[in-house]
Structure formats: structure tokens, C-alpha cells
Structure 1
Amino acid sequence: MINNTGDVKSVFSIKDLENLSGIKAHTIRIWEKRYNVLEPMRSDTNIRVYNLVNLQKLLNITLLHDFGYKISKIATYPEDDIPRLVREIITVKSTKNHAISAFKMAMMNFDQELFFSTYYQLLSEKSFKEVFYEVFIPLMTEMGFLWQSHTISPAHEHFISYLIKQKLLINTEKLQVLRPIKTDKVFVLSLPMNEMHELGLMYLNYETLLHGYKTIYLGESVPIESLTDLKSHFESIVFVSYLTVQPDKDSINEYVAEMIRQLHGEKIELWYIGRMVEFINIKNFGNSIKTFNSIPELVNEIQ
């Protein structure tokens, strides 16, 4: 969370707790009043505020509650018993929710150790692909919402994104040293100018390599004219663009039209994914492009 001076806060409103836990503010107030499960502080203007200890306790209570524990029962447990119970009930059924909560706490506390311990626990039970699909993609989706609602600051988002990028790079490098087994096309992955959200594109690079194709990863802020250079090196190319916030909805169709104009070719494909895809007027472009609403949808298209 961020205040007017840009400093990262360590206290949260009840709305922040709702955003981070998924429990409605009204319910949190009832739990607090009836069962005394949280101990809020008071601001100078006598408004309830909550610290990181309250947040962590609420996330643990939420996990127990989702697992079937009644709040009236949870309220009777000694303070130290709640984290222990959470550890004991972490099963295949609850691993995803626990991991997402743990990663949120790692983010809020800038806690690398918690991130790594949670990640390696997941990796002992799941493949990297499963971890990314089941945990990191939902986490990134939540991060987007938390950032938009000002519950977290850019510092929180950058901290957790960098750690996920590290894991993506390590797993991608293991595939890059292998010779491609499919040579009918090359995938070129890039972000448009001023687009900085790279995680989704990095994962698509990993998946494309996993499918046996050669990839050319260009990353963020690539002008269209730079993509034309690839046409002199490869005959059959799939250009993949991940559009999270750029181009904006008023200029995205013009951007797609310009890509078609500059990159058009018999063996050239243009694929688009990301939040801004919904603003592309597909009817204007016919079969010239393909759009995808999710990472799994695009991955299924990689054959």
C-alpha cells in the first residue's frame, strides 16, 4: 500500500484486508466484534487500521475457514495454534490457496525467504508448469487487481514479479540448450512500445520451447519496424504480442493494422494475447490475425 508521499505502508484499511483475503469487510467486522479474532489499531481520526500481523492472521483464518473450520471454533484456539493448524492441513486440496496466501505475505513483507520456501515446497509436489498455471497465474491476476485498487504499491508488484521472473529464466534456460525438434516455423515474442508487463510473455516463451520450437525472445518495448528484420532471417514466423496495457484501447486497432502492413507475408502469423485484446475489432482484420483470451488457450494452439 502507498501513501501520498510514495512510502510503502505497513498498515491497512479493512477494504485492503477484504481485497487481500477475499473475505467481505462486513464479515471481517462481524468476526472481529463477535469473536475478537483481530486486534485493530486506531488511526488519529479513530478509524480502524490493521498491521501485517493482523493480515497474516486473517489469511491463515481464511484458509482454515475455507477448509471447513467454523469461525467460532477458530476463535477459541490459542494464537500460536492457528499457524500450526494451517501447516498440518496443507494437502493437495489446499496447497494452491495456501501458496497464494504465502506469496502474498512474502510480497507484503518483502520476504524472499518465505517466497523461496513456499516455491520449493510446491516444486516438491508439482511440476514447474503446474506451479505456474495453478499458482502464479492466479497470483498475477490478483496482483493486477490489488495494484489497481491501491492495496499494493509498485514496489510490492516489482518485488514479487522479479522473483517469479528468476524462476522462469532458470526453467527456460534448461530448454534453450536443447535443439528444436520442430522446424516448420519460428516464434518471435515481443511486447509493444511502453509495455513493461513481461511475465506472461516469458511464460509463453517457456511453453513454446517446451513444445519443441525455436523462439526469438525480444521482450519489452519493441517497435514494429524492428520486427521486420526477422523476415530476412526466417521464412515462416509466428509473431506473438502480449498486450496488457499498451497500446491503449483507442489506438490498438491502428497498431494491429500497422503490424499487418509491415509484417504481412504468406508464411507470417500474428498472434495477440492480453487484456487489451478485447478492444481489437476482429471483423476488420479477418484471417490476418489470431487473438487469445488466456495463456492456456494460446498454448493449445502451439502445435
Structure 2
Amino acid sequence: MGTRELGLPMRVASSEPEVLPDAVTIWEVGPRDGLQNEKEVVPAGVKIEFLHRLAAAGLPVVETTSFVRPEWVPQLADAGEVLDGLRKADGVRYPVLVPNARGLDRALDSGVTDIAVFAAATESFTRRNLNRGLDEQFVMFDPVVRRAVTEGMRVRGYISMAFGDPWEGAVGVDQVVSVGRRLLEMGCDQLSIGDTIGVATPGHVETLLRTFVAAGVPVERLAVHFHDTYGQALANTYAALRVGVSTVDASAGGLGGCPYAKSATGNLATEDLVWMLEGLGIEHGVDLDALVETSTWMAGHLGRPSPSRVVKALSAS
């Protein structure tokens, strides 16, 4: 499905000067979003070692697992075991995805301090992913988010299908902003704007993010989450940086993929992101060599090479 079929909006010209952030927080999603689509179950011990290596490489946020029902995502059925075996590094945040009130109970019992909820911008996807309509998803998330905030947790709200939907095509910018504002109103402290099927282009990214800001959402509360299906993830990230976004989701070694798009090549690789940030002079705090070593190690466990171009280049040199 290309941009013509999706009807993606053209870039809105801006007179604002380009001011890139001085530093970027990399939100590592490899252990959760990256591994959840693996067909062969990765042992809990390997996941725990993966988490330890990522933290040691300097990543400040490592999304750890998800408290979804095992039959929904068998790869993450060992969430409790992984959290029990995790040695938390000082200064590192370890968010966990929770789908509902039961998931929040488990997160609280496990001593989790950061959670995320996974909302969507389209009716079709919420029906397939949550068995609820677009508006009904908020009925489910509202008590979860509000209770989590009361318990002192930080809550992130994911907005999937923010740039295109395989069933509905183009997704209206105003519709995405409306979903985001509702998540913020119920207590989410950050929004992660997701290009779930990897169809976004830089102009579309800039338009959507500037629309959020024009609607009164501080850019500091926005993060971006890109898939590289059409090779646009880095370009889209740069567009987001130009708007002032300073939190970027990425997956070590480019782990992950999208079951809804053919030829999807997974999440933006953390190594590729770090390489670009280095070139731009933007601080990130990550040891690239240690990260490449970690992704190469994980690729060995998965039985295939990393798709990250930077991992391939540096591991071959």
C-alpha cells in the first residue's frame, strides 16, 4: 500500500527555523516490541541477559515486557519470570505494557514504576487488537491510567496507526490529535506516535507533530515510533527532531516487524539512530560498540543476522 492509496497529506510549509534538540532520550523497545513477533520462544534467561546488556550500553529507558494474556502474545508469557530475574541498573527506567486493570495489578505486584497503554487512532485496528471500538478503548484505559497515576506511576500512551491503517487507508491528522489529547487528559504523561505499518514520510510526520503542538500539546510530551517498511524511519525521525521531539523509540538491531504490512522490516534500529545522532552532534548517552555487540549476540540466539545497516557495517569491520 503506497502513499497514493493512503492519501497522505503533503508537507505544510513552515517558517519556523530548524532547531534540533541538544539531547535525545532513546526509548529502547527491543525486549518488548522487538521480540513479541518472534515465532520461536526466546528463553527468559536470554531476555534477562538482553535487558542487562542494553542497560549496560547506556540506554536510559528499556521497555521490558508486557502483561498481556499468554494466548495473545505467547512470546511474552514469561513476563513475571523476566521481571523477577531483572537486576535493575541505577538510573534506568524499565516500562511494562499493560492492557487492562488485571495487567496493572500484576505490574504493581512486580514493583513496576512505569507502564504504557496501547491505544490506536482507528476504529478498524481497535476492533482487531482490543475487540473494542475507537471510543470504547478509552473506557477500558481510563481507570487503568488514573489508578496508575494515583499509585505514583508514570504512564505512556501509545497511538498506533497514526499515519496509515491497512484497512482504512489514510488516517486524518485531527483524528490522531483527538486520540492523543484524550490520553493526556486521563493522565498519560507522554504520547508515542506510532507509524505501525511504516508508511509515513517526513512531510506527513512534520504536519502531524505541528498539529499536535498547535492544539496545545507541548512537544516535550511527544515521542515517535517508526517502522522501516519503506526505508523512511531515519528520515522520519529527522523530521520529528526538526519539530523539537526529543524522545525516539528504537529497537536494538532493528528487531521487530509488523504483521499487517508485507515486507515490513521492523522497528527503527537503535544503532542506526545512534549513528545519525552522532553525526548531528546530539547527545544520547549510548555506547555504540557495546550496543552493536549486544545486537550481534541476540542475532546469534535468533539464528539470523541483524537487519541494521550499522550493525552490519561495524560488526564486519
TM-score (norm 1): 0.30
Choose between structure 1 and 2: higher helix proportion. Answer: 1
Q: Which has the higher contact order (CA 8 A, sep 6+)?
A: 2
Q: For the pair shown, which has the larger CA radius of gyration, 1 or 2?
A: 1
